[in-house]
Amino acid sequence: MSTRRVVGPFNRVEGDLEITLDIADGKVTAAYVNSPLYRGFEQILQGKLPADALVLVPRICGICSVAQSAASALALADALGVEPPQNGRLAANLTLATENLADHLTHFYLFFMPDFARAEYAGRPWHAATVERFRATVGSAPNQVLPARARFMQMMGLLAGKWPHTLAVQPGGSTRPLASSEIFRLHRTLREFREFLETVTFGAKLDEVAAIDSRASLEAWRGRAGGGDLRAFLAIAGDLDLWHLGRGTDRFMSYGCYQETERRLFPAGLWQGAAAPLDIAAIEEDITHAWYAAAGLPQHPATGSTLPVAEKDGAYSWCKAPRLAGQVVETGALARQVVAGHPLARDMVDGYGASVAARVVARLLELALVLPAMERWLAELVPGEPWCITAPIADETSGVGLIEAARGSLGHWITVRRGRIHNYQIIAPTTWNFSPRDTSGQPGALEQALAGLPASATEPLPPAIHHVVRSFDPCMVCTVH
Amino acid sequence: MNLLWLQSGGCGGCTLSWLGGEHGPLFRVLADEGIELLWHPSLSEAGVDEARALIERCADGRTAVDVLCIEGSLLRGPRGTGGFHRFGGGAQPMIDWVRRIAARAGHVVAVGSCSSWGGITAAGMNPTDACGLQYDGEASGGLLGPDFRDPAGLPVINVAGCPPHPDWITETLAALAHGSLQAEHLDDYGRPRFFADQLVHHGCPRNEYYEFKASAAKHSDQGCLMEQLGCKGTQAHADCNQRLWNGEGSCLRGGYACIRCTDPGFEEPGHPFTTTPKVAGIPIGLPADMPKAWFIALAALSKSATPARVRENAHSDHLLRAPSVKRTKR
C-alpha cells in the first residue's frame, strides 16, 4: 500500500522547495517536486523598455544575479547586433566566473556539507570530525570560508560595483573601466583565493586537481597526504557510497560559457553517452502539471507565455517542465564538464551515471579549472582600450541569451515590439533539473533521481534524500522567478 | 536575543549580501553580539519536519521570537489568498505565518526593499499583489497595517536596499540585541537613520565631475552620472559611498546610476532607469534640499567654469589629462 507524504520546507536550497513522496515498501515509488513560490518576472517585464530588463532580471535571484544579468545582456546584444570590445568581454567573463566560483564554494560549505554533521550519522568513523568542521553555522569550515569568500567577492566591488545586483554588465561591455592599479588589486585577490583553495579546500595545487583524469586517479589522489576538505568529502562519499546515489537522466546539457578570442572555455553541447549537437530550437516548455494557462501545446520560449492560474487539474508546481526534443536533461557543473570533455567528469558518469558524489566533485573541479582562466583573462585586460560600446535598439527585434550559471544552463528569450518588451521568457537551470512531469508523464530530473530511495511514511526523512536534492545545487528563486 | 529569519517573495539576495560582511565570520559576529540564530532557511541545519515544527512553535507562542526578520515581499495574491507562496510542507500561505509570528515577536525587521515596501516584486502590473510588511510602496499599510507596533512600541524596522549593505543588517540587529534602538533612531519610513540619514552622493568619487556638471554621456565614461545616465545619488538615502560594498565598490564606483533602491517605489521610476528625465533640459530630480533656481544658476556657472581636464576626462573611460603639478619653490 502506498502512502503519500509531503515534505518541506527544504532548506539550504536558495528559496522554498516542497516534495511530495509516494512511499511503498520502504521506498519512494514516485516523487513530485513543487516550487511553491511564484513572483511573475515574465509578466513584470512585459511592456518595459528593453534596457530596463538589466535592472529587473538580476533581481530574479540573489545567488545567480550576475548570471541573470549576463544572460539578459547577451539577449540584448543579440537583439542590438553588438559585440563587446575585448576588455568588455573579459570583464564579463571575470564577473560571471567570480559569481560562479563563489556559488560553488557557498554550496559546498554552507548548503551541502552540513548534512553529514547530522545526528543520524553519529557512529560513522568520520562523524565527529565532520561535526567539528562542517556543522551549520558553528563548524570551523563555515567560519573559515565566509571571510575568504568575502575577500574573494571584493572582485565584484571593482568589477561590478557591488554584488548581488549590478548594472555593470551591459550588452556592449562593462560600465567599469579598470586602471592598472585596480587590475593589480584584482590580481592580488585572485592570488589570495588561489592560496585559500590550495591550502584549505584541496590540500593540493590547482593544476594537480585539474589534472585528475579518472575515478581511479581521484581515489589515488585522495590517498596521498595533503588534507583539505575535498579529501574529507571523498572519504564520506566512499563510506556512504554517494557514487551510487541520485542518478538522474544521464542526458547532460550545457549552453557553454566564458567567451575567449576564438572559442568558449566550456563549449555548448549535449552528452548522452556520446556527444550530440545541441539544438536550441528543440527546447519547449510543457505546462501540463504546472499552474499556468496556455493553448495546451508545449511552447518554445521565444513564443512562450507565463499566465498563472490559481487552480488547475493535475498541476502541482509553479515550475514549468522544459524539455529538449521532448526529453529530460540534467544541467549543472557536472553536465558542463561532461559536455566539455573533462576526462574525470566523463569517467565519473561512465559507470553508474550522474551521482551525488559526481555532481559535488565536478563543482570543486571547476574551482580548479576556472581560477587559472580568470588569472589569464585579468592579464589580458588593456587599460586605455575601450570597455563598452553603445548602440540604439531597433523598435522591432528579438534576441536570445544563453549562459552557464553555477548551477547550469540559463536562457533568456526577448521579443521587442514598438520599442517595448513584448515577451520575455526565462528558463533557469533548476527549471530543468527540478521540473514537474510533462504531458507524457515523464518525471523531471530530480523526480527521477529520488525514485527508489529508501523512505518511510512516519520516520524522519533519511539524509540520503537531502543529499540527492542538494547535490543539484538547486536555486528555487530562479526556478520559477 | 534569538532571531527567526523567513523568506518570501524575493530573490534571497539580502541574505547573500549579508554573508559578504567584511568584519569577520558572520556567525561568530552574531554570537559575539549576543544573537542566536533560531532558524534561517539558507543557513540552518534543521530542515523539513524539524523546521516546520519549530515554525509552528514560534507561531503559537511556545517558542518566543525576539526578532523576526522577513526577506522578500509579502504575496497577497491570487485574490487575497496568498497562494503565490505557500510555505513548503503545508497548505498555509506564507503571509499567514508572517502575520501570526509578527504578532508575537519582540521586534519585526524588514530586510531589504521587498519586505519594506514591495520592491521589485511589486513592479509592473504587480502580478502577485506584493507588498511590504508595513508599506505598500509609499503608502503606510502593507501586510501588517499602519498601526502595527512591536511590544517595545517600534514599527517594522525597514533595513531597505536592493540588497541592503551587509553592515546595515548586522548593525541593526546588534542595536536591537543591545537594546539601544529607539523610535527616534528610525526615519520617516522606519529606516535606521545610521544609514538613511546619509545621501549616496556623500563620498562619491565622481564629485569633481558633479561640481562642474561634467557629465558622462555613455556607459564607461568617467563623468558625473546625474545629468544623463539616471543617477539619483543626490536624492537617495544611504551611505553607499562612505561604507563601501565588496571592498571598494558602490553603484557609482561601478560606473552605473544609483537607482534609489532604498526608497519606496524605486522599482517604477516613471522613466528608463539609466536615462535622466528632464524638462527643458533640466533634470526633474534635483539634489535633496536644493532650490531649483539655485541649481540652474549654479549648474550654468559651474559648466562655464569647467576645467578642460575635467571636461575631457568626463567623456573618456580612462584618464586623458592628469591634474597639473604646481611647483611652489624654484
Q: pLDDT digit string (tens) for A370-427?
A: 999 999 999 999 999 999 999 999 999 999 999 999 999 999 999 999 999 999 999 9
Q: How many residues does chain A have?
A: 481
A106 with B85: Cβ contact below 8 A: no
Does residue A162 sit at the B interface (CB-CB below 8 Å)? yes
All residues of chain A having their beta carbon less than 8 Å from the beta carbon of residue B49 are 7, 460-461
All residues of chain A having their beta carbon less than 8 Å from the beta carbon of residue B256 are 161, 166-168, 175
- ipTM exceeds 0.85: yes
- In chain B, the residue whose alpha carbon lies closest to the alpha carbon of A153 is B246
Which residue of A116, A162, A390, A476 is the best one to mutate when testing the B interface, meaning the one whose CB has the most B CBs within 10 A?
Answer: A162
The confidence band for A334, taking pLDDT boundaries of 50, 70 and 90, is very high
- In chain B, the residue whose alpha carbon lies closest to the alpha carbon of A138 is B27
Which own/partner contact pairs does A144-149 have at CB distance under 8 Å and 24+ positions apart? A144/A200, A144/B25, A145/A105, A145/A109, A145/A110, A145/A200, A146/B19, A146/B21, A146/B25, A146/B26, A146/B27, A147/B22, A147/B24, A147/B25, A148/A105, A148/A193, A148/A196, A148/A200, A149/A102, A149/A105, A149/A106, A149/B19, A149/B20
Residue B285 pLDDT: 86
Give the dihedral of Cα atoms B156, B159, B160, B162; nearest 10 deg: -130
Residue B185 pLDDT: 98
- In chain A, the residue whose alpha carbon lies closest to the alpha carbon of B162 is A165
Does residue A308 sit at the B interface (CB-CB below 8 Å)? yes
All residues of chain B having their beta carbon less than 8 Å from the beta carbon of residue A114 are 45
B3 to chain A, closest Cα gap in Å:
14
What's the CA gap between B199 and B242, in Å, rounded? 9
Residue A295 pLDDT: 61
What's the CA gap between B61 and B7, in Å, rounded? 20
Interface A-B: count of C-beta contacts within 8 A: 281
Say if CB A35 and CB A308 are below 8 A apart. Answer: no
Burial of A180 (0-12, 13-18, 19+ CB in 10 A): exposed
As a whole number of Å, the CA-based R_g of chain B is 22
Does residue A98 sit at the B interface (CB-CB below 8 Å)? no
Name the CATH superfamily, with its identifier, for domain A3-480. Cytochrome-c3 Hydrogenase, chain B (1.10.645.10)
Burial of A379 (0-12, 13-18, 19+ CB in 10 A): exposed
Question: CA torsion sign, A244 to A247 to A250 to A255?
Answer: negative
Q: How many residues does chain B have?
A: 330
- In chain B, the residue whose alpha carbon lies closest to the alpha carbon of A478 is B11
The confidence band for A310, taking pLDDT boundaries of 50, 70 and 90, is confident
A157 with B245: Cβ contact below 8 A: yes
pLDDT digits (tens, 9 = 90+) for A115-143: 999 999 999 999 999 999 999 999 999 99
Residue A296 pLDDT: 62
CATH of domain B198-318: 4.10.480.10
A157 with B219: Cβ contact below 8 A: no
Q: Could you tell me what percentage of chain B is helix, strand and coil, using 3-state DSSP and rounding each to the nearest 5? A: 30, 15, 60
Percent of chain B residues topping a pLDDT of 70: 100
Percent of chain A residues topping a pLDDT of 70: 100
Question: CA torsion sign, A171 to A177 to A180 to A181?
Answer: negative
Does residue A8 sit at the B interface (CB-CB below 8 Å)? yes
What's the CA gap between B120 and B198, in Å, rounded? 23
The confidence band for B327, taking pLDDT boundaries of 50, 70 and 90, is confident
The CA distances from residue A187 to A50, A191, A210, A383, B3, in Å, are: 34, 6, 21, 14, 39
Q: How many CB atoms lie within 10 A of CB A341?
A: 13
**Domain B2-196 sits in CATH 3.90.650.10:** no
Q: Is A394 in a helix, a strand, or coil?
A: coil
Average pLDDT, chain A: 96
Q: Is B32 in a helix, a strand, or coil?
A: helix
Domain ranges of chain B: 2-196, 198-318
All residues of chain B having their beta carbon less than 8 Å from the beta carbon of residue A40 are 84, 121, 127-128
User: φ, ψ for residue B73 (rounded to 5)?
Assistant: -75, 165
All residues of chain B having their beta carbon less than 8 Å from the beta carbon of residue A15 are 7, 12
Does residue A149 sit at the B interface (CB-CB below 8 Å)? yes
- In chain A, the residue whose alpha carbon lies closest to the alpha carbon of B55 is A9
Mean pLDDT of A245-259: 96
pLDDT digits (tens, 9 = 90+) for A413-463: 999 999 999 999 999 999 999 999 999 999 999 999 999 999 999 999 999
Which residue of B3, B11, B98 is the best one to mutate when testing the A interface, meaning the one whose CB has the most A CBs within 10 A?
Answer: B11
All residues of chain B having their beta carbon less than 8 Å from the beta carbon of residue A479 are none
pLDDT digits (tens, 9 = 90+) for B293-326: 999 999 999 999 999 999 999 999 999 999 999 8
Beta bridge partners of B243: none
Residue B104 pLDDT: 98
Element (H, E) at B72: none
Does residue A260 sit at the B interface (CB-CB below 8 Å)? no
Does residue A466 sit at the B interface (CB-CB below 8 Å)? yes
- In chain A, the residue whose alpha carbon lies closest to the alpha carbon of B41 is A11
Which residue of A5, A13, A16 is the best one to mutate when testing the B interface, meaning the one whose CB has the most B CBs within 10 A?
Answer: A16
What's the grid cell of residue A330?
540534467
B254 with A161: Cβ contact below 8 A: yes
- The candidate with the shortest Cα–Cα distance to A256, out of A283, A282, A277, is A277
All residues of chain B having their beta carbon less than 8 Å from the beta carbon of residue A111 are 42
Residue B155 pLDDT: 98
The confidence band for B189, taking pLDDT boundaries of 50, 70 and 90, is very high
pLDDT digits (tens, 9 = 90+) for A31-71: 999 999 999 999 999 999 999 999 999 999 999 999 999 99
Which residue of B19, B220, B274, B313 is the best one to mutate when testing the A interface, meaning the one whose CB has the most A CBs within 10 A?
Answer: B220
Residue B284 pLDDT: 87
User: φ, ψ for residue A7 (rounded to 5)?
Assistant: -120, 135
* Selected residues 271-300 of chain A with any CB under 8 Å from a CB in chain B: none
Lowest mean pLDDT among A8-17, A278-287, A332-341, B121-130: A8-17
Mean pLDDT of B209-234: 97
Give, rounded to a whole angstrom, the gap between the first and last alpha carbons of chain B: 66
Residue A23 has pLDDT above 70, yes or no: yes
* Selected residues 196-215 of chain A with any CB under 8 Å from a CB in chain B: none
- The candidate with the shortest Cα–Cα distance to B72, out of B119, B9, B165, is B9
Q: Is B159 in a helix, a strand, or coil?
A: strand
The CA distances from residue A364 to A96, A152, A456, B205, in Å, are: 17, 16, 33, 38
B41 with A11: Cβ contact below 8 A: yes
Q: Which of A43, A168, A384 sits opposite B125 (nearest CB)?
A: A43
What's the CA gap between A36 and A311, in Å, rounded? 14
Say if CB A257 and CB A266 are below 8 A apart. Answer: yes
What's the CA gap between A94 and A91, in Å, rounded? 5
Mean pLDDT of A197-216: 98
Residue A297 has pLDDT above 90, yes or no: no
A387 with B220: Cβ contact below 8 A: yes
Q: Is A427 in a helix, a strand, or coil?
A: strand
> At A175, which amino acid appears?
T
Does residue A364 sit at the B interface (CB-CB below 8 Å)? no
- In chain A, the residue whose alpha carbon lies closest to the alpha carbon of B248 is A157
The confidence band for B330, taking pLDDT boundaries of 50, 70 and 90, is low
What's the CA gap between A210 and B46, in Å, rounded? 34
Does residue A52 sit at the B interface (CB-CB below 8 Å)? yes
Residue B142 has pLDDT above 90, yes or no: yes
Task: Give ∠ CA A342-A61-A55 in degrees, rounded to 5.
Answer: 115
What's the CA gap between A99 and A177, in Å, rounded? 19
What's the CA gap between B73 and B122, in Å, rounded? 8
